[in-house]
Amino acid sequence: MMLRFNRFYSVLGLLAVVIAAISLARESAAQDYYKGRQITIIVGNPAGSGFDAYARLLARHMGRHIPGQPTFVVQNMPGAGSVTAAQYLMNVAPRDGTTIGIVVPGAIFDPLIDGEAKFRYSPHRFLYLGSADSGTRVCFTSKQSGVRTLADARERKVVVASTAPQSAATDYALMMNALAGTKFEVVMGYKGPADLILATERGEAQGVCALDSGTIATIKPDWLATNAFNLLVQAGLKSSADVPAPSMWEFIKGSNREVAELIVSQQEFSRPFIAPPDTPRQQAEMLRSAFADTMKDVELASEAKKMRIGINFKNGEEITEIVRKLYSSSPDLITRARQILRP
């Protein structure tokens, strides 16, 4: 009987050794996975944009937070408000942890409003690494426009520049018209944020409604500090003390607030980094962990400060939950938002 017990415990001991060896082998393989590899960051905006700045900042720092220290390369893939990049990440990009991307929030939000059937991707299926910032958007006009306040924009027509239908600069102008009584007239066709600002400077448009404050700080580093333009209003779930403009909630009240909150909630993930669906679990965990560590990196924070871009990090789990809640909104609320944004 004693011999049987000894054999039993010997087998258990052997199993424990085997399991530990397998675990160590898997851990070692995971640690070596990225050694000598390259990770590509797909940017759904043009070079020189705020999203491009965040991607290149991440590329300079994230490698040292991943075992094996892979190199990073940035590839710009603008088009259709980051839809081109989102479709690539969903349908074409390798699903092995070597490709990630950053897209505008609208690429995640728009399928909620327009219906996922119109898109060749589903926001639910992306792996969310996190968001580098939760930003504030700003509506502004040029000094030459004569439109100094939002009250002025409620009294007379204001021509604002935008890139395309369903872009933030179109959606927010429509939202302010419907819910705050402004008279923005949207002129589309510009390539990106830098072109929108240039159009205002040239007098082709009187302003823009709206751009991320971080994007403005990247393109025009001294702009907010020197009051080069008229700041009409800031848009976000919460007011930002760093933006010297009145909050949208001074003008949007009552039953209008609920639908406005749905629309601006996308700013909670204003710089979302994503990976293709079905990224292997080990690589997914490594990427999420490395992204979080990079966002807390002292060297990255120092460089971001010099670049005048904000780091207000939200982790992948938080962004996943925000997206889940968005897509759980009531049909009536979604319908109302659709009527405002897709007149």
Q: What CATH code is carried by the domain that includes residue 141?
A: 3.40.190.10
Q: Confirm whether 289 is domain-assigned.
A: yes
Q: Select from 231, 266, 301 the last residue of a domain.
A: 266
Q: Are 161 and 216 part of one and the same domain?
A: yes
Residue 38 has pLDDT above 80, yes or no: yes
Residue 134 has pLDDT above 50, yes or no: yes
Q: Select from 199, 232, 266 the last residue of a domain.
A: 266
Residue 336 has pLDDT above 50, yes or no: yes
Q: Where are the alpha helices (DSSP H) in the chain?
A: 2-32, 50-61, 83-91, 105-114, 150-155, 168-180, 193-202, 213-219, 223-226, 256-264, 281-295, 298-307, 316-326, 331-341
Q: Are 204 and 306 part of one and the same domain?
A: no
CA atoms of 232 and 177, how far apart (whole Å): 13
Q: Confirm whether 16 is domain-assigned.
A: no
Q: Confirm whether 13 is domain-assigned.
A: no
Q: Are 70 and 151 part of one and the same domain?
A: no
Q: Are 257 and 144 part of one and the same domain?
A: yes
Structural domains of the chain, count? 2
3-state DSSP assignment of residue 47: coil
Q: Are 46 and 143 part of one and the same domain?
A: no
94-103 residue pLDDT tens: 999 999 999 9
172-186 residue pLDDT tens: 999 999 999 999 999
Query: Chain-wide mean pLDDT for the chain?
Result: 91
**Domain range for 238:** 137-266
Q: Are 163 and 59 part of one and the same domain?
A: no
Q: Are 76 and 144 part of one and the same domain?
A: no
Q: Confirm whether 154 is domain-assigned.
A: yes
For residue 1, the model assigns a pLDDT of 53
pLDDT band at residue 166 under the 50/70/90 scheme: confident
For residue 81, the model assigns a pLDDT of 86
For 79, half-sphere exposure in the C-beta direction (CA atoms, 13 angstrom radius) is 9
Q: Are 283 and 332 part of one and the same domain?
A: yes
Q: Are 105 and 146 part of one and the same domain?
A: no
Q: Are 128 and 227 part of one and the same domain?
A: no
CA atoms of 71 and 168, how far apart (whole Å): 32
- Name which of 10-24, 122-136, 147-161, 276-290 the model is least confident about: 10-24
Q: Confirm whether 27 is domain-assigned.
A: no
Q: Select from 244, 266, 288 the last residue of a domain.
A: 266
| Position 193, amino acid | P
Beta-carbon contacts of 196 under 8 Å, excluding residues fewer than 6 positions away, are 161, 162, 163, 169, 190, 205, 208, 211
CA atoms of 74 and 316, how far apart (whole Å): 21
Q: Over range 19-46, report the average pLDDT.
A: 73
Pick 308 or 52 by higher pLDDT.
Answer: 52
Residue 313 has pLDDT above 50, yes or no: yes
Q: Are 189 and 278 part of one and the same domain?
A: no
Q: Confirm whether 194 is domain-assigned.
A: yes
CB 184 within 8 A of CB 160: yes
pLDDT band at residue 192 under the 50/70/90 scheme: confident
Residue 12 has pLDDT above 90, yes or no: no
Neighbouring-strand partners of residue 212: 137
For tokens 């992306």, what's the residue? 126
55-67 residue pLDDT tens: 999 999 999 999 9
Q: Confirm whether 72 is domain-assigned.
A: yes
pTM: 0.84
Query: What CATH number is associated with residue 103?
Result: 3.40.190.150
Q: Are 182 and 251 part of one and the same domain?
A: yes
Q: Confirm whether 152 is domain-assigned.
A: yes
CA atoms of 260 and 171, how far apart (whole Å): 11
For residue 271, the model assigns a pLDDT of 95
For residue 221, the model assigns a pLDDT of 82
pLDDT band at residue 242 under the 50/70/90 scheme: confident
